[in-house]
Structure formats: structure tokens, C-alpha cells
Amino acid sequence: MRSAVVAWTTAPLHNAGMTAAALSRRCHGASLAAATSLLAAACGGSGGGGAPTTTVVNGSLRVPQTAAAALAPIPHRPDLLMRPAEVVAWIEPGVDAVQFAGPDYELVQSGGPVAVFRSIAASQRGSLHAGAALADSCELATCHAADAIAALPGVRCAQPNYLLQATRQPNDTHFGKQWHYPQINLPQAWDLTTGSANVVVAVLDTGIKAAHPDFDPARVVPGFDMISDPSVARDGNGRDGNPEDVGDLATPQGSSFHGTHVAGTIGARSDNGSGIAGVDWACKLMHVRVLGRGGGSISDIADGILFAARLTNGSGQLPTQRADVVNMSLGGPGLSSVLQQACDAASAAGVLLVAAAGNDNTNQPSSPAAFASVLSVGAVDLLGARAPYSNFHSSIDLWAPGGDMTQDRNGDQFPDGVLSCMADDQGGFFFSFENGTSMASPHVAGVAALVKAANPALTAAQIRAVLLGNTKAGVSLPNGGRVVDALAAVQAAGATAGGPLLVAAPGAVDFGATATSATVICENRGQGAAVTASVTPAPAAPWLSVQTTETAAGNGLTNDTVTLTVDRTGLPTGVYQTRVTLVANVGAASTQVAFDVRMQVGASAGATDEVFVLLVDPLTLETYFQASALPGTGYLWNFGSIAAGQYLLVAGTDRDNDDEIGDDGEWFGAWPDLDAPAPIDAVAGSALTGLQFGLQDLVVVPGSAGAGAGAGASARRTFRRLL
């Protein structure tokens, strides 16, 4: 993992203290037990003030089990179609590309940082596609020329000037970290539609940090703050027309800003050269604030649903235009009859309701996801399997990427969470990885908006039918579940492609430590006769064998099977990874699709970090007791004789030796869950044994410099360890 910082959830959430009257963000784990709960608990007497007793508190920790294998730079590919003898290079600032022209290289194009050179030697050779041998080919000579030019001082990088017909890839800085979009064939869908400004998506959540630089004010329609209790709203009043998120103080390290993350997935600025991409690039966002300090009440959430649907509600206010889609990354166990009435009314009014199924790793229903009028969304990991925290009740209609922060299966040095917009209580803006069904739900809401954009005449019921009828396979999902497929959905809505659109399923293969074979299905869902030209791992992977089989001879790329076989014989213990790229020729051009392959040999390298476990005062956050958890013991920890009272139980590493835990680049966690902490009650003479909770590798992706106050910062509350 990279040492840079964000909060994410490893453990399933718990239901202690949850009532139907206090729904909260259980669906991704963002703050059920908020700061008010902690402060109220502290009123009964906190730790540190009494005499030592025989009270015993012990348990164990779950630590991130990531075994990252970073992808090496992809080598040049002489088998790909390219402009004959041309090399494209990126020139450093202040360097004139003209100086590199001469008897070996002709300067074809320059201006700005991009320059194109023509290799004289390569131009004198024949092409592979005209029958030349590889060793004597123009293509191989062009690759060698690219290496030579890249080595020149003042050249940042260089490669052959390939001819590609790629799916639409936004130029957002961090798009490459958003693995969750290719998983649902979203880049291919963007070739057909990127959304419509006539579609409105309402986000019922904690509100919005509107100043985040990756939100476009022109794409926001007036919303509402539906929180009726000023102490919950924390903005000095009750219901009003300003849905700005002032923070819910939900976690030990500050506010969750959950709605900002969710809204970023649905509709962040896209293809604007910075930040991340949203699922829909054009839809309007309506923010309805229903969750605050301690969560949200059924009455506030129900009125928020009615408001978004432009139906009579307790605020007495109505939006100018109702929402087409409502995303609810919120919920709680059980079925609320009042909430069901609100959902049924909104659905009858023509609104498509989408909700997160919950993070309790249970088959129990939850509100509002389980209602028939709501599209319930479960979460899958990078491989398309059920995420370990996701609920799996039979009412789940669809699955979508929610991530698994305990893994890094694509070897990008970041946890496999969903990357989106984030803020902190000090006014900083950045991007964070999170996991949960709260992250899965906005993927479906965003795709629903794309479907509506592709065919504005579709009703909510018809959009629902399109989403459910055009899906892709997951990996052994409960109840025969299927994963949302953005490309299939917009095509079913009537959007058509003008060229090839290659897809691969699954989009990632993890052989683990024992599996030896797997298959990937590749197909062309667009136009044109795509003919497979090559299937190549890069970097080279001698341990991997690749065999392509056509479903029918001469029918081009149509559900062709790529069989992968691995051989661990003689390999040292470790993780091996490559990216397999299938290139297909379409006339004079080429297009491609890629998928990651990962294999483990032997046992995973064990963690070596010492973890400090602290009991802190829930009100002052002062540390009173400390224990250590070591890898050799399986991260067991034990407090012997402590003073009776109530404590917040937190744990983390101190890799930078600053005597603080919970800061950048560290593991950190809280019992029972970082995003839903609850105090423990240590009663004199009693024992609290077997307590277990997970640690998270805190990772934040900084914002763009100058993109707003604190754009590169992440200010998190830390905890002082005892020396």
C-alpha cells in the first residue's frame, strides 16, 4: 500500500442500539454511532477516574491482508498497428524538440510538450502486416527508435505512434485508479452516451461539500436540508433550503462527508483534466440532506424522498423539477412501514429509487432497500464476487462495485476501494477510497441516469427493467445475482455504436495460491468485424500460458474464450502479476481490451507492524490505557487490571514514530468499526473478552494544487499513545 491516507471499512457493521426511528449510513459503514452517541455514553462516567479493578478487556485485530504486486511499465508492442516509423514523445518544459532532429530522426510535429519524430532507419523497412519478418520489420525498428528517443535528455517518455480505436477514456488525473468503472463496462458505454443535463439524480445523504473542486455548480439544482432537529443538523437551525454538509462528527477522526463521496461517484466533473470521473458526465444533482449527527430519522428521510419526488412533504417546499432517480446510500435493519409508504408514493410518481443493501454481512432485509418499490444494490469486489461485508438478502436486485479495502488485487499500490470525492472538517478537499454498499448504489443510480439519457422516453419502471434485464455475470453471487452492465443497459435503451466495443468478463483474474486455470470471455459488442490479432501479457509472464479459442471459425471476435493456465513450478514465494491485452484489428485500425491476472506462490508475507491498542475517554479522547498487539501472536491484545468506566477502543500503528496513531500512512481502526464506533462499558469485576475489530490502511489521494482551500490536505484527528 502507498503511504498516503483515507478511512475505509474492513469489518461488517453491527446492529447494537439501532432502532427503526434512527436510520443511519449502515450501508457503507459511515457513522451509525456518531459523536452524539459517544458523548451521551460518556455522561455515565468515563475511564481514568476510578481505582484499578479486576476488569479485563482483551481481543484480537484483523489487519489488511494485501499482497500488492505493482505492474511494471508496459513494453512497446511491435504487433500493434502504428503509424509507420513514427515515435511520439513527451518533451520536458523548456526543451525544444528541434534539437533532436537530425540524420536519424525527422521532426514531424511539435508544439507544446508533444512531439512526433520519424525514424529514418525504420522507414526503410517493410511492415509486419505486409509480410516482413519481425526482426526486419518497420514496427520493431520503430520500437527501438522509441527507446532511443526516450533516453535523450529532455524527453520524459516516448513510444510508437500507435493507431488505436479505444473506448472513451476521460482525462481525469485519477481515472486510472477507478477500477470499478471498467468492471461494469462503463468506458464502452461512454462511447454511446455520457449523460444528459435533462436528467436529475437526487442524493439523499449527509448533504454536499459544494466547494469541492470536482463538483460543477452549473450541474446542481436546488435541494433541501430536511433535518428537523438542529442538534442533528449542526448548522444552527432545523429544515432549510441549504443542503451543505457541515459535518456529522461521525468517526473518531472527524466527519464522514458521506454524501460528498456518493455524489462524486454519480456525477463528479469528468474529462476535465483533473480529479476523478463520475458515472454520468452531464446529469443534474439534487442534494437532499437527511443524515446528520447520529444518523437520520425516518420522518426526515421519508420527507426527503417525497421532496425529491415533488410530492407534498413536511417541509412545505417542492423542487422545480422532480428527480428522475433517487440514490439512498442509507438504511437500517428491519422494514419501516412509514418509509415504505414514502418509497411507494415516489415510485408511483415516476421516480426510480436506488438503495444500498447494507453492510452487515447478513441475509436479513433492511429499509429502504428491501421494498419492492426500491432497486436494492449489493456490493462486489474487484473480482466480481460478493464483498465480505455486503448483505445478501433475497431482495437484492442488482450488484455493483463496492470494493474491498483489505485487498490490492490489481497491484496498483492502493486498496481496492471505490475512489471518489472527500472533504474534512478543516475545509480540505481530496479524494478517498471507501468500500461498502453505499459505494455500489451510486454506480447503479449513475447508470440509470445514462439509460435515461440514451432514451428520454423511458419511464422509471422501464429503466428498472433495462437495468435488470441487461447485466453481466458475477462470481458465485447469492441467489443467482448479476452485476450491473452499463454498456448493455444503454444499448438496450437504444444507444448504438459506430465502431467496435470490446469487453472482457471477468475483468480481473486472481488465481490465489492454489488455482491453476481460468477462462475469460471476450467479445465485440459494437460495429465492425473485429478480428483477434494478439493476446499478450505485459510485463512478460513465463508462468502464464494463454490460449485463445474462437467460438466459430471465421466469425470474428464473438464470445471468444481466452484460457489462462499458470505454472508455479520453481517460482520463489511471492505474488506475480501481469496485464493481458487482447488486440483486435478492425480494418486498418485496432482496438483492445485488457484484464489483470494475479497469482500467489506460497504463503502471503505476514505483517510485521506492532499495533498499539488504546482505551481513550469518549469525551476528551485522552488515552488512559495502552496494550500492544504483535504479529507473532496473531495480533492478540489484552488489558489486565483497568479502572471501571466507559472507553473508546482504538488501535493503530506508529510507523513514523511520532507517538500518534490514526495519521497518514498508518493502519488504524476502532471497535466495533471505524465508521460506527461505540464505547465499551468496563464494569468492575467483569470481563470483556474476545473483542475483535479491523484495521484499515488509511489512504488519501490529494486534490489538485490550487483547487480550493486545503485541496491537497487531509486533516484527521489522531490519538496520543502512551510512552
Q: What is d(CA 241, CA 317) in angstroms, rounded to the nearest whole number?
A: 9
User: Is the separation of the CB atoms in 433 and 403 below 8 Å?
Assistant: yes
Q: What is d(CA 469, CA 492) in angstroms, rounded to the nearest whole number?
A: 9
User: Is the separation of the CB atoms in 370 and 395 below 8 Å?
Assistant: yes
Q: Which of 438, 441, 590, 714 is catalytic?
A: 438
Q: What is d(CA 379, CA 550) in angstroms, rounded to the nearest whole number?
A: 33
Q: What is the 3-state secondary structure (H, E, C) of 216-238?
A: CHHHEEEEEECCCCHHHHCCCCC
Phi, psi of 160 (to 5 degrees): -60, 150
Phi, psi of 118 (to 5 degrees): -115, 125
Residue 620 CB neighbours (<10 A): 11
Q: Write the CB contacts of 580 (distance below 8 Å, at least 6 apart in sequence).
A: 520, 535, 536, 537, 544, 546, 562, 564, 594, 595, 596, 597
Q: What is d(CA 560, CA 142) in angstroms, rounded to the nearest whole number?
A: 31
Q: Which of 28, 76, 137, 205 is catalytic?
A: 205
* Annotated catalytic residue 337: no
Q: What is d(CA 32, CA 26) in angstroms, rounded to the nearest whole number?
A: 6
Distance from the Cα of residue 365 to its chain's centroid: 24
Sign of the CA dihedral 445, 447, 448, 452? positive
What DSSP letter does each residue of 238-287 carry, written as one string? Answer: SSBS--B------BTTB---HHHHHHHHHH---SSSSS---S-SS-EEEE
Residue 509's nearest CA partner among 521, 525, 495 is 521
Number of DSSP helices (H) and strands (E) in the chain, helices first: 12, 37
Q: How far is CA 125 from CA 82, 109, 117, in A?
A: 14, 22, 16
Q: What is d(CA 451, CA 467) in angstroms, rounded to the nearest whole number?
A: 8
Q: What is d(CA 721, CA 520) in angstroms, rounded to the nearest whole number?
A: 49
Q: Which of 258, 261, 287, 393 is catalytic?
A: 258
User: Is the separation of the CB atoms in 405 and 27 below 8 Å?
Assistant: no
User: Is the separation of the CB atoms in 404 and 381 below 8 Å?
Assistant: yes
Q: What is d(CA 338, CA 298) in angstroms, rounded to the nearest whole number?
A: 8
* Annotated catalytic residue 205: yes
Residue 92, classified by CB atoms within 10 Å of its CB into exposed (0-12), middle (13-18) or buried (19+), is exposed
The C-alpha cell 432502532 sits at 19
Q: What is d(CA 353, CA 321) in angstroms, rounded to the nearest whole number?
A: 16
> What interhelical angle do 258-267 and 437-454 show, nearest 10?
30
- Active-site amino acid positions: 205, 258, 438
